[in-house]
Structures are given as structure tokens and as C-alpha cells.
Amino acid sequence: MLKYEAEERELLEGLIDAIGILPDGHAEIDGREVAIGPHGRVDALIDARIGAQELQLLVEAKREGFPRDVREAVWQLRNHLAHMPSVDREILPFFIARAISPGARDILREERVGFYDHGGSLYIPARHAFVYVDRPVPKKNAKIFVSLFQGQKARVVQAVFDRRSDWLSVKELAESTEVSPATVSATLGELERREWVDVEGAGPAKLRRLRSAKALVDAWSSYVADQKPPKLTRYYVPGSNALELAQQLDLACRDADAAYAVTAEAAAQLYAPYLSSISQVKCRIEPGRRQEEALERLNARPVAEGWNLGLLETRARGDVTVAESIGNVRLASPLQVYLDLLQGSGRSREMAAHLRSERLEAQ
């Protein structure tokens, strides 16, 4: 049942209105918190008619719908359905939530369980009255699905992906990402709800390991596609090709004790060569005095055009993560490089596709 009764009532009213605008459609609530069988209780029963088809909807309500949520709901609805008395109309298990993730919708369709969300998506797989209205998650609820890819949670998800063959604990991830244990735990819980990780153990000894690299990368890619590219400050460093410039950057940052990571085209070219040459280097350098000192050592001059060094905005040292060094150049993780390429121009998307096939293991 929803945490707040008002939200559940709003969802039920929205479902009734959505059915009501269908051809010869009508729906009304038959009961709330209805006892089913010896121990069960369904959130609502709805009597509905679509054309000449009479239906009874057996409704389970949640605040949000992720794969784990809907699997539990489907199990509950099937159990309720087994205890329903025989009637002269079709009884249809039904799920409602403010927002239902794409993966959860797929599960509900596979199980032939109807659903409705605040965005107006409506699925009624009745025998003689099939309805499917597919609408995107409304913006006011979209943050439910993208919060994993923002701020400190994104750092945790990145670490889970980078160490996808390892079983990881909250403590271990908190130490390696410099993120609080509470945020790490919440992030891993969200990954569980999406069924992107396997779980072993319980309590403080609980471990997780990435199960679906493809689902994670696809979801993060979709999120990035809707975002503005990060702010890029452009500089010109005299007399260097891209590789030499990246090596100069390494020396300057080492001398300034500044954390840095090369990303985008220059990094992709080192991870999985694709183009014959690269003329620009994009990177992240920890903000503050050390960044300023590194740029001074490079003799980097701010320019509007003709740049060869691009500095992506970074808010904290923890936002600069290094996966490995190639040719004396520290590189962001292949996943970060891939995401940065998706927000680039020119042939960056071609390079992203090539890098994904060669390094991400997420096909």
C-alpha cells in the first residue's frame, strides 16, 4: 500500500478517469483495503467496463515500480487471484504507481498484469478488451529513475560497474569512493530494486555484484542523452600534439599534486584506437589551487577558439576517478569516457560505439 493514502486515492481516480475516456469505458471503486482469502488484503477492487466487456481489476498500489517491486506485486496478485470467488466476468490483476520503470513495465506485460501510472500509461490485457497506452514518465517523477546517475550516487554506481566481477560491501565501496556508508547503502538498495545486482549474505556482511552491465549502461546513456554537456573551459597549450599534451598534463599535475583524468576522444583513442589522429584533449582536474598550479605549469592560455586542452567542470576531488594509466597518461574509466563521448560532437558517438564494443562488456 502507498505510504500516503492521498497519493493512492489520486492514482485510483486517475485510473478511473483513464478508463472512462476509452470508447464506452466506465470504472468505479468497488472497495478499498479488501480482505482476500485467509490472510490477504488487496489495495482496491475496481469494477470496469470497456465496450461490452465487464472486468474486475484486482489492484496493488505502490509509490514507484521497479523490477523487484513489480515481481513482489505480481506474486501477491497471483495469490489473491487464487482466492477470489468465481464471478461471471474476467478478473484482471492490476498494478498502479506514480512511476513505473521501463524494465518493470516489461515484466508486467510478460506476466499479463495490467498497469497504470501518473504519466497516463495504461495497459489492460483483457481477453476481449486489450488496451495499451505507452507514455513517458512525467518530468516531476522522472528523478525517481535518474537519481542514481547524479552526484555521489553516480560515483558509487561507477565503482560497482568498474569492479563488476567483484562482490562488494558497503564499507569497501564507501572507503574507495569517499562516499558516506548511508549513501552507498541507499545506492546499492536502488540497484537491487532494478535487479541490476546479485546479492549474497545479509546485514553488515551483505555483498553485491553487478548482474546486468548492459541494463546499467543503457539506462545511464539514456539519462546522459537528456542532459546538457558539462561546462568546458578551453585552453591553448603551445606546441604539442594530443598525446604529447596529455603527457605534459601528467607531469604538470604530478608536480602540482593535482588529481586528474583524461577522458573523451583522447582517452578513447588510448583505450581502443579508432581514428588516425586526435587534436584535442579533454580532462578533469580537481578544483582549487592545485588545478590553477597545474595549468600554470602547462602555460595554458584561456581561448575561445583554437583550443587543444578542454577542462570539464569538476566540483570535488572525488569526482576525478582514474581507472588506469596508458602511455604515462592517467585515464578516466572506460564507462566515464563512453558517457563523455555521448555528449560530444563530430565523430565522438562513433568512438563511443567502438569503445563500448571493445571495453565495456555491455552489448
Would you list the DSSP string of 66-82?
Answer: -HHHHHHHHHHHHHHHH
Question: What pLDDT score was predicted for residue 4?
Answer: 57
Query: What pLDDT, on a 0 to 100 scale, did the predictor assign at position 144?
Result: 63
Residue among 70, 122, 99 nearest 114 (CA): 122
**Does residue 337 contact residue 271 with C-beta atoms inside 8 Å?**
yes
Q: What is the pLDDT of residue 129?
A: 85
How far apart are the C-alpha atoms of 158 and 242, rounded to whole Å?
A: 26
Q: Which CATH number fits domain 142-225: 3.40.50.11610, 1.10.357.10, 3.30.56.10, 1.10.10.10?
A: 1.10.10.10
The pLDDT assigned to 146 comes to 64
With a cut of 70, which residues of the chain have pLDDT below it?
1-4, 138-146, 362-363
**pTM: predicted TM-score of the whole model, two decimal places:** 0.72
CB 320 within 8 A of CB 259: yes
Question: What are the residue boundaries of the structural domains of the chain, listed by start?
Answer: 5-137, 142-225, 232-360
Q: Rounded CA gap, 197 and 206, in Å?
A: 12
Q: Residue 205's pLDDT is what?
A: 87
Q: What is the CATH number of domain 5-137?
A: 3.40.1350.10
For 136-185, the three-class secondary structure string (H helix, E strand, C coil) is CCCHHHHHHHHHHHCHHHHHHHHHHHHCCCCCECHHHHHHHHCCCHHHHH
